[in-house]
Structure 1
Amino acid sequence: MFDAERPYRCSPQVALRPEPFGALVYHFGTRQLSFLKTPELLDIVGSLELHKDVRSAVDGAGVPPDRRAAYLKALAGLAAAGTIEPR
C-alpha cells in the first residue's frame, strides 16, 4: 500500500525518457509503456531518492498546495504499477 510518508525510489527496472509533456516510462519487467503527464511529475519521480519521503519530494518540486493531492494520487498509481517502489 502506498504511503506518502515513506521513502520511495524509481524502480531499477524502469527507464524514463523525458519528453516535453513529461516522460515516457518503460518497465522492463512487465514490458509496459506508460506516461508521466507533466514535467513536474518527472521531477518528483527523478528526485524521490533525494528526499526523506514522498511528500518532501512533492514539496521540493514546488507543487502548489491545491495540486498536491492530485500528484499524490498519481504517485500512488505509479507505485501500484511498480514504477516507483519503497526504499
Structure 2
Amino acid sequence: MNPAVDLTVYYRLAPGVAIRPERFGGLVYRYDNRRLYFLHSHQAVEFVNSLDGSRSLQETLDDFLASREMPPSASEALVKTVVKLEQLGILTHSG
C-alpha cells in the first residue's frame, strides 16, 4: 500500500464529473475541461462510484473488498486508482 495515501480521507466524485460503465470498464468525463479518461476495470468503476464522501477511504475499501470476497491484496490497485483520479481532479475530498 502506498504510505503517502491517507486512508482516513473521505473521497467523492468532483463536481462536473460523470462515470459511464462500459464493456471494458468505464468512461470518466470532466465537464469543466471536456476531458475523457478511461478506467480499464469494472471493479475500479464500481469502487470509484462507491466513494460518496460519507465514509473514509479505508471504510469504503474494507466494505468493498468484503462484499465482493476479494483478497486484501486487491486494495493496492484500487488505492492507486484513487490517487491517480485525485491528481486528475476527478476525485475530491469531501467536507
Q: Settle same-fold status: TM greater than 0.5.
A: yes
User: Are 2:7 and 1:7 aligned?
Assistant: no
| Partner residue of 2:35 out of 32, 37, 48 | 32
**Which residues in structure 2 correspond to 1:1-87 (within 5 Å)?**
3-49=6-52, 51-62=54-65, 63-87=70-94
Q: Read off the aligned partner of 2:35 and give its amino acid letter.
A: Q
Q: CA RMSD in A?
A: 1.8
Rounded to whole Å, the distance in 2 between the matches of 1:83 and 1:67 is 21
Rounded to whole Å, the distance in 1 between the matches of 2:85 and 2:5 is 9
User: What's the TM-score once normalised by structure 1's chain length?
Assistant: 0.85
Matched residues, number = 87
Q: Deviations over 1:17-69 (max 9, x none)?
A: 11122210011112211011111111111111165111222222224211211
| Farther-moved stretch of structure 1 (40-49 vs 61-70) | 61-70
User: What's the TM-score once normalised by structure 2's chain length?
Assistant: 0.79
Long gaps (5+) in structure 1: none
Runs of 4+ with >3 A deviation: none
Q: Percent identity?
A: 32
